[in-house]
Amino acid sequence: MKDNHEKCLELANRIYDLDAKVYDCVGSALGRTFTGNRENTVQNLCMLMLAKPDGHLLRSELALISNMARTIPDKEAKDRMLAEYDSILKEIENLPDSFGKVDILDLTRAELNPTARKKLSENDHLVICISRTQGSAGNDIGFELADELHINYYDVEIFNQVLKRLEAEKGSVDDAETDHFTEFDKYKKKSFRLKTWFREFNRYHGLPRQDAIFFNMSDLICNLARTEDCVIMGRCADSILANNHIPHISLFISAPFTLRVRRIMASKNMDLKQASRFLRQMDRQHKRYYDFYTDGRWGRPESYDLCINSANYGIRETIDLIERMINQKRN
């Protein structure tokens, strides 16, 4: 503890001296960062280094000095001041309990995110899970992204075709045919027929039909993610893969409601009232489905690796943004 305090005093004196040197080089009308006497200023700086809750105050003081140093007109003097600044900053960062030492990293989630690693391993497949609000061009973005990356693309319609080719039992896992997503409501009272109940009990091994469909779809998603590079649209794929410890990238694409309404009106030939009602209904169903089958919250930023407002970029630029994030780890 004594050695640490002495080190802080040494660094505080260096900071005070650097501030004076930078001011002499710049001659700014704004004055020095530290206007108090040396003894009091050094003691205050020392306390900021020792007090974790006030670490941001020390960072702000250092930033003021570095900002002014970058305005020094003489290149040689500027380089000398910034070199001293970098040296001080590095030593502060090496202090016990310095600012930046308490990370916010969630190791469990980071292990599943290939972009959080230095690079993708040979055994990892590039799996991009895209959730989206209706009308945000999420499907268009996902399809074109897969095409440009030369990887497979899966949405609900394609999943059904794959399942049929695998000779899955018709109706037991067919997402579109059973229409279990658009009608999803686990709490809605349904008419009860004993004959239907026995038939579905045998077909789905005692599970409710909606749950059986979800679990069969989950198995398919996991098998795909383990064997190939792909883009998966919706289906709670991000949460399914996380629960099975399969690396993936999760994205959420949305856009302001008014712009989504405008796009739906144009693409589906609806009027304003129809488009607004349609979007609210679809967003509600997406949320209900995701929130029920996962431990996340649909549309909440903390549930995803990256959230994008597609209206700020358009389809083409949104794809470019995602590709830049991916390519930094694939090169």
Q: Cβ(329)–Cβ(114) under 8 Å?
A: yes
Q: What is the pLDDT of residues 79-98, one digit of tens each?
A: 999 999 999 988 887 877 66
Q: Which two tokens mark 139?
A: 């499907």
Which pLDDT value is given to residue 182? Answer: 47
Q: Cβ(48)–Cβ(8) under 8 Å?
A: no
Residue entry with tokens 């501030």: 19
pTM score, two decimals? 0.65
Which pLDDT value is given to residue 194? Answer: 45
CA distance 67 to 69: 6
Residues 208, 211, 215, 221, Cα dihedral to 10°: 140
Q: Can you tell me whether residue 121 is helix, strand or coil?
A: coil
Question: Residue ranges of the chain with pLDDT lower than 70?
Answer: 1-2, 27-31, 51-56, 97-123, 162-209, 328-331
Helix axes 38-50, 2-26, angle to 10 degrees: 130
In order, the DSSP letters of 216-258 are: HHHHHHHHHHHHS-EEEESTTHHHHHHHTT---EEEEEE--HH
Which pLDDT value is given to residue 321? Answer: 92
Alpha helices in the chain (DSSP H): 2-26, 38-50, 55-69, 75-93, 107-112, 138-149, 156-165, 175-178, 194-203, 209-227, 237-243, 257-268, 272-293, 314-330
Q: Can you tell me whether residue 104 is helix, strand or coil?
A: coil
Q: Which residues contact 51 (CB under 8 A, 6 or more apart)?
A: none
308 forms bridges with which residues in the sheet? Answer: 253
Q: What is the pLDDT of residues 260-305, one digit of tens each?
A: 999 999 888 999 999 999 999 999 998 988 888 887 788 888 889 8
